[in-house]
Structure 1
Amino acid sequence: MLDKLLRKSLFLLSLTLFNTALMAQKNEIIKEKWHWDGKLKQDTAAGYAQVLKVGNVLYISGAVSTSLTPEGITQVYKALERSLKSFGATFQNVVKENLYTTDIEAMKKYNDARKVFYKGDFPAATWVQISRLYMTDAKLEVELIAHLPGN
């Protein structure tokens, strides 16, 4: 009886360890990257990727402009559009936008240049005025989170 109980306990322990190992493997995330069509798919000097896809979510690094004009804002959103397209997405897939600028009033003044890209389907957004960005002459940086259909 004791031998049967011991064997059953060992079997249950083995099964638990096996399931734990399987779950640990399933918890590893698969990252797909895109970086301006580069072979490495990331910038090793600064240490980032332009787009990182995990599951059906795209995390898009900031695109920048040195000009807070309609043209400069359009340049940023065209770069973001290219980032979205790298995984077949559009601005209608964007759920979150973080905008950093050195002049919030100029950004508010020229906001129509940004709104055109969303075609009336705006994401959750945060706009922050800061003293400077990573690039010393940059005046605007915008990052996005987008969801792809499925999954």
Structure 2
Amino acid sequence: MKFIYALFILGLCSFSTIVSAQSDTITKKKFHWGGRQQDTTYGYAQAVLIDNVLYISGVPGMGQDMGAQLKSLYRGIESALKAYGASFQNVVKETLFTTDISAVEQNNAVRKAYYKGDYPAASWVQVQRLVMPQAMVEVEIIAHLPKKP
């Protein structure tokens, strides 16, 4: 038992050495609507690129019905992706939040058209309300961009 405990302690020491050897900072490239780097009212950036991984914050839908809201938010995501030279084919994870999951299911063709058959890992979650009260749906994504040599 003492031998296993000693190995555990040695492992922790080795792990702390590896962690402390890492840089204390990461380089973030930020994008926000209107040419800004981030929003200070809510306190977020619309997109953050770290290395070759792009994180796009939730884009809410705008419009009178679910179909219109899905079209508007996927156009917004497409715009953020293009700001980094990416497309929906770079998306590896999508999280969709909605106040009406049945309406999303009925309008899923709108979403699928943007992915062109190359679908990411995805989660759909029904919520009571989104930050913008008129929004029925909001989507956030993670995309991987090709590594630069």
**In structure 2, which of residues 66, 69, 78 is the aligned counterpart of residue 69 of structure 1?**
66
1:92 aligns with 2:101: no
Matches of 2:126 and 2:134, distance apart in 1: 15
2:21 partner letter: M
- Deviation, 1:27, is 4.4
**In structure 2, which of residues 2, 21, 27 is the aligned counterpart of residue 23 of structure 1?**
21
Number of matched residues?
A: 130
1:72-128 CA-partner distances (Å, limit 9, x unpaired): 211110000001111111000000000000000000000000000000000000000
Written as runs of structure 1 = structure 2, the 5 A alignment for 1:1-150 is 23-24=21-22, 26-39=23-36, 41-66=37-62, 67-150=64-147
Runs of at least 5 residues in structure 1 that lack an aligned partner in the other structure: 1-18
Q: Taking structure 2 as the reference length, what is the TM-score of the superposition? A: 0.81
Percent identity of equivalent pairs? 49
Runs of at least 5 residues in structure 2 that lack an aligned partner in the other structure: 1-16
Q: Taking structure 1 as the reference length, what is the TM-score of the superposition? A: 0.80
1:7-57 CA-partner distances (Å, limit 9, x unpaired): xxxxxxxxxxxx99x934x34211110001423x10011000000001100
- Deviation, 1:138, is 1.2
RMSD, aligned CA: 1.9
Secondary structure, in 3 states, of the residue corresponding to 2:135? coil
Secondary structure, in 3 states, of the residue corresponding to 1:136? coil
Matches of 2:100 and 2:90, distance apart in 1: 27
User: Moved runs in structure 1, 4+ residues, more than 4 A?
Assistant: none
